Amino acid sequence: MITAGDFRKGMTVEIDGQVCLIVDFQHVKPGKGAAFVRTKYKNVLTGSAVETTFNPTEKFEEVHIERRDMQYLYNDGSLYYFMDLDNYEQQAVGIDKVEDSIPYLKENMVATLEFFKGEVISISPPTFVELKITQTEPGVKGNTVSGSTKPAKVETGATIQVPLFVNQGDTIRIDTRTGEYMERV
């Protein structure tokens, strides 16, 4: 058991029977009245964010989230299959858990799966991925306004905004946290 006064960013606790990730917190000690902890947390299972205050002495159960690196194998339309690199067991995951990561995952890529009580709750692709551009319009000569971008479709089907000098067939590095172009490889 931990108290609200012990909250830290990234900590996972059980609040009202739900598994929640502490996104932000602030200890407030007003001139009058008792101190409190202003907290922003995200429900791990539903993704909804909540801001609320707690008494610093309120107790919560700390939740253990297991993280495993697994290789993305394939999808069969409704399920996505991952293989544990240690014991070669396969894990089938529904689209609702992978929809944010799928634009950046291609076959044989390693992703981090988070488990709570043996069930997958989220999937994180690598922070940076290198993907080949399959479709984009050529840059127009003379259109050199700084910061100009154009849409480009990558091999996984995602559309990314890229600078005008990037062409079809180029391989680019993408930051999966923001979905932004980083550099040409």
Q: What's the pTM?
A: 0.72
pLDDT value for 17: 86
User: What pLDDT shows up at residue 144?
Assistant: 60
Split the chain (185 residues) into runs of 10 and give each run's mean pLDDT: 89 89 90 90 85 93 90 90 92 83 89 86 88 87 69 92 90 90 91
Task: Give the pLDDT score at 145.
Answer: 59
CB of 28 within 8 A of CB of 51?
no
pLDDT of residue 46: 78
Contact 82, 71 (CB under 8 A): yes
Distances (CA, A) of 24 to 34, 37, 53, 123: 20, 10, 12, 21
Assigned token pair, 51: 């801001």
